[in-house]
Structure 1
Amino acid sequence: VMLHRAIVGSLERFIGILIEEHAGALPTWLAPVQVAVLNITDAQADYCREIAKSLQNQGLRVMTDLRNEKITYKIREHALQKLPFILVVGDKEKEAGAVAVRARGNKDLGVMPLEAFSRLIAADVSSKV
């Protein structure tokens, strides 16, 4: 009698099938990083950290990209990673207490208050679609 148990192997196959099925664009509730917060210049770095901390307090997985690179380069880089949401923060957004939201697939959702984005992503995560 021989017993065979492959818990790790079956888990790896499941994750591989899941990634293949979604072509790497995992749903928001399952994505390892749900939101990336990008600054345009160093002047918005503190505000980006505040946004990230606020979203992390809501239980979201957030990363900040405060590198001194062109914003188009940073947006493209994170879009290629297929992140569900990218938040871009410039001087106008900082003054208004808002964020410029880009959803996966180059969908520009425009500028909205942080609270409105929080409600949007909470609804997206809870829908589990």
Structure 2
Amino acid sequence: MALHSKWSGGKLIFYDGTTELAYIDQAANGGLKLPTVAYDANGAISLYSHTAVVTKGTAAALTLAAPTATTHDGVTITVVSSTAAAHTVTATTVGFNAGDAASDVGTFGGAIGDGFSFVAYQGEWYVLPGTNLNVTLA
């Protein structure tokens, strides 16, 4: 993946040619901002650092491909629900916390604000400590 950058509206935007990956906003004291993406239908979660807000009114079935060792190391994704539904996030192949099929599905409890964050490292997805709010891994 080739990384590009450009200045636009007081922001230094980093992108891969089509998708905004992150930006630095001068107005926010130079803080690094990750994009927020709404997921309003069943489907795949993109493999770049971002906040995924699940906006589907009924239970969404989201999939997360296995990260590639080294290439995706450090990719951090937060998934949070803006609707009261029992969404699922399935980490295909590797599961969460190197658990394979024993922990490959995260099922949300059904409340607004349920969610969790995870990071890729060496081909696995690891849930970040203290970030799991009402999501059951099984």
Q: Same fold (TM over 0.5)?
A: no
Query: Which protein has the larger Cα radius of gyration, Structure 1 or Structure 2?
Result: 1
Q: Which structure shows the bigger proportion of residues in helix conformation? A: 1
Structure ranking higher on relative contact order (CA contacts 8 Å, 6+ apart): 1
